[in-house]
Structure 1
Amino acid sequence: MVKVFTSSVINTNIDKVWMKIRDFNALPNWHPAIANSAIENDEPSDKVGCIRNFNLKEGGNIRERLLALSDLDYFYSYLILESPMPLKNYIATLQFKPITDGNLTYAEWTATFDCDRQEEENLIKLVGDGVFQTGFNSLNQIFIE
């Protein structure tokens, strides 16, 4: 099993960050790699079990199921159902914590998955840098104050 861990500091308070990303269907509003997204079967985007179906700007479609969401602990977890990436058993958690010194936000995005050994290094870089860090960088651009 492969584990990817990426963390960052977002330059605004946690409530602003959470309101921007809480909606499981909001990826196109803050992540630059996402072209569009829809929740299947017209379910609420904060309903555990709902499925988001989104397209990447560079091509490719991904379907993910929401596993958990907590407004109290500022996190959600999800699993990939379908993806063009050569991985399986992918489960990720996106979590935020307040940094009281400066009214900032600590952001942490983790994932575990299985893949062929020859794909491991490439996928760690793709997920950690291409997905997670790119998302954090975008949030910091949105919240330039």
Structure 2
Amino acid sequence: MASISVSRIVPAPPERVWQLIGGFDSLPDWLPDIPSSTLENGGRHRRLSTSDGDTVVERLLAFNDAERQYSYAIVEAPFPVTDYVSTLRVHAVSGDATVSEVQWSGRFVPTDAPEADVVALFNGIYSDGLKALSAAVA
């Protein structure tokens, strides 16, 4: 099993960042590569359309509003992985209430591709996503 974790300091308080990213259906609000998201199965699944025309279906596994985090699994996607589970978290930064640290992490089993390539793929997705988030809250 491989894993990846990317974090970034963003220029907004944790409450404001969580308000933007904390909804399971909110990816289109801050992630440019996801132009649409539709909740299904009573909000437990989201069907994402990518800017490349692909579809990704994810299942919400855990949600904790007080701790500003949620975890999800990929149900269907064009990625060369199985057993993918990811967590998105917003942390307060000690001593500075005007910024937040956002952490996006995942673990998965690579299939049909070298582990290093799949880790690099998700590193790029997470890094680009957090960069877009930082710009969205600035």
Normalising by the smaller structure, the TM-score range is: over 0.9
Matched, 1:7 2:7: yes
When the two structures are aligned, how many residues end up with a matched partner?
137
Amino acid at match of 1:116: T
| TM superposition score normalised by structure 1 | 0.89
SS in 2 for 1:3: strand
Contact 1:11-1:105 within 8 A present in 2 as well:
yes
SS in 1 for 2:116: helix
Give unmatched runs, 5+ long, in structure 1: none
The Cα RMSD (Å) is: 1.3
Contact 2:11-2:137 within 8 A present in 1 as well:
yes
Q: Deviations over 1:22-65 (max 9, x none)?
A: 11011111101102110014x2x4xxxx0000110012110000
Contact 1:75-1:96 within 8 A present in 2 as well:
yes
Amino acid at match of 2:59: R
- Alignment equivalent of 2:111, drawn from 89, 95, 116: 116
CA distance in 1, matches of 2:50, 2:114: 20
Mapping of residues 15-26 of structure 1, within 5 Å: 15-26=15-26
Mapping of residues 76-87 of structure 1, within 5 Å: 76-87=70-81
Q: Deviations over 1:66-103 (max 9, x none)?
A: 00111111100000000101100000001111013222
SS in 2 for 1:59: coil
**Matched-pair identity in %:** 28
Contact 2:80-2:112 within 8 A present in 1 as well:
no
4+ residue runs over 3 A deviation = none
SS in 1 for 2:59: strand
CA distance in 2, matches of 1:88, 1:139: 27
Give unmatched runs, 5+ long, in structure 2: none
Matched, 1:90 2:106: no
Matched, 1:142 2:121: no
